[in-house]
Amino acid sequence: MNKAIDAYGPMQRIIEEGQRDIMHTYAQFPVVFASGHGRTLVDTEGKEYLDFVAGIAVNALGYGDETLAAALKHVIDNGVLHCSNLYWNPYAVNAAKLLKLVSGMDKVFFCNSGAEANEAALKLARKFGHLDGGHRSGIITMEHSFHGRTYGAITATGQAKYHKDFDPLLPHISYAVFNDFESVCSLVDDDTCAILVEPIQGEGGIIPAEKEFLVSLRKLCDEKNLLLMFDEVQCGMGRSGMPFAWQTYGVKPDVLTIAKALAGGVPAGAMVASGVAAEILQPGDHAATFGGNLLAMSGACVMLERLAEGTLCDHVQAMSAYFLKALHALQAKYPSIAVDVRGLGLMLGIQLSVPPRTVVDGAMSRGLLVASAGYDVLRFVPPLTVTEGEIDRAVGIIDEVFASLASQSE
């Protein structure tokens, strides 16, 4: 038991105090986690949960990874968690070198989250549009996209439900239909400077891009002198089965945004760029006080070294094939509930004919954590270290939930 958590008393007391003292920006599930091991979380009452949410694709190495823990402890023991970006720190420099190696990009800007990374990309795109005396400011994103909760990022997000009551939004951002190249072309004009797209839409419903769509976007951006920007906050860092999803598709962007699993669970984000885009921002253009801090970068070095080795991505590809086979079998067994199975790597989803929350709740009561995406998709984003046995357990629990729902409808 975690003594720091246990000192607060029973789980219900912690929940009640949280409801009283924390702003209600989340609708939390009634559980408090105290510890974890492997791919399992343990609540304050000792119940174990197989975790196929991973902090929403953050805890890529699971819980209790010894190498990650040792790297973080080393920084803590040295007594310097943070120093200003007015000075160099070796962890950030090494993380940048590793990130360039695995991403294939040229230069790195470190921040703290995916929203921050996308804000940096939006600023970079606007400055690109003003090069050589230009005044281009239009940015095209996609319907059903999700790019974060900050002001620019939420404007870039192509979902009206996230815009409600926050207008006026950032100007000169328009939304094309995902995987519809002609829709993108119809929005390009003399004001356009960039296109921002998720290679795999996450919050929109686990929808992979079609390769030809991304190939066409790359060609269009080259012809029109536009920046092609990929948001890989959720689908990057090995989740697609390659270090980054662009490598899975073979379509390289000019700008790439990263966060979530970058530091194995410690808050960290990055915007990386290549070519002209890598040289646009200059001192004074952008900053992040905690970006590239020693603690986060020590975690990033561990994650990036795992990706550079290659064995983690090999494992993701193998587990993805195993998981997809099991999910397709589940779909065949319950065709009236499971409408579709989709995704890449270990970013998978089942489109449902029932509200996803009913399945999420049923799985949680049986000791499995899963999440929803979009309006009708059950999302699976387990730690990248997940095993075949754990996939079998997870699918078995979903099978039980589906069987219960099927019997209720008879």
Kindly report, residue by residue over 275-303, the tens digit of the pLDDT: 999 999 999 999 999 999 999 999 999 99
Nearest to 292 by CA among 6, 78, 94: 94
User: What percent of the chain clears pLDDT 90, i.e. is strictly above it?
Assistant: 96
Q: Do 278 and 207 sit in the same domain of this protein? A: yes
Q: Do 25 and 149 sit in the same domain of this protein? A: no
Q: Let me know how long the chain is.
A: 410
Q: Is 169 helix (H, G, I), strand (E, B) or coil?
A: coil
Q: Do 135 and 201 sit in the same domain of this protein? A: yes
pLDDT at 114 over 90: yes
Q: Do 258 and 380 sit in the same domain of this protein? A: no
| Residue where a domain terminates, one of 276, 309, 342 | 309
Give the chain's domain count.
Answer: 2
Q: Do 107 and 225 sit in the same domain of this protein? A: yes
pLDDT at 5 over 70: no
Q: Do 256 and 328 sit in the same domain of this protein? A: no
Kindly report, residue by residue over 12-24, the tens digit of the pLDDT: 999 999 999 999 9
**55 φ, ψ (degrees, to nearest 5):** 65, 30
What are 32-35's contacts with CB under 8 Å, separation 24+? 32/5, 34/1, 34/2, 34/5, 34/6, 35/1, 35/2, 35/63
Kindly report, residue by residue over 51-85, the tens digit of the pLDDT: 999 999 999 999 999 999 999 999 999 999 999 99
pLDDT at 7 over 80: no
Q: Is 22 helix (H, G, I), strand (E, B) or coil?
A: coil
Check which CATH number belongs to the domain holding 284 and give it.
3.40.640.10
Spatial distance between the Cα atoms of 264 and 62, rounded to a whole number of angstroms: 8
Check which CATH number belongs to the domain holding 397 and give it.
3.90.1150.10
Residue 408 structure tokens:
């209720």
DSSP per-residue string spanning 122-168: HHHHHHHHTGGG----EEEEEBT----SSHHHHHHSB-GGGTTT--S
Q: What is the pLDDT of residue 371?
A: 97
pLDDT bucket at 409, cuts 50 / 70 / 90 = confident
Q: Do 199 and 340 sit in the same domain of this protein? A: no
- Contact status, residue 31 vs residue 348, Cβ threshold 8 Å: no
Q: What is the pLDDT of residue 1?
A: 46
Q: Do 26 and 79 sit in the same domain of this protein? A: no
List residues bridging with 338 in a β-sheet: 352
List residues bridging with 140 in a β-sheet: 174, 195
Q: What is the pLDDT of residue 132?
A: 87
Q: pTM of the predicted model, to two decimals?
A: 0.96
Q: Please name the amino acid found at residue 45.
A: E
Kindly report, residue by residue over 148-207, the tens digit of the pLDDT: 999 999 999 999 999 999 999 999 999 999 999 999 999 999 999 999 999 999 999 999
Q: Do 155 and 278 sit in the same domain of this protein? A: yes
Residue 14: CB partners within 8 Å, gap ≥ 6? 5, 8, 32, 44
pLDDT averaged over every residue in the chain:
96
Q: Is 402 helix (H, G, I), strand (E, B) or coil?
A: helix
Q: Do 203 and 237 sit in the same domain of this protein? A: yes
Range of the structural domain that residue 322 is part of: 3-64+311-409
Which one-letter DSSP state was computed for residue 63?
B
| Residue where a domain terminates, one of 309, 324, 347 | 309
| Residue where a domain terminates, one of 264, 285, 309 | 309
pLDDT bucket at 316, cuts 50 / 70 / 90 = very high
Kindly report, residue by residue over 333-370, the tens digit of the pLDDT: 999 999 999 999 999 999 999 999 999 999 999 999 99
Q: Do 219 and 198 sit in the same domain of this protein? A: yes
Residue 286 structure tokens:
């952008």
Q: Do 157 and 266 sit in the same domain of this protein? A: yes
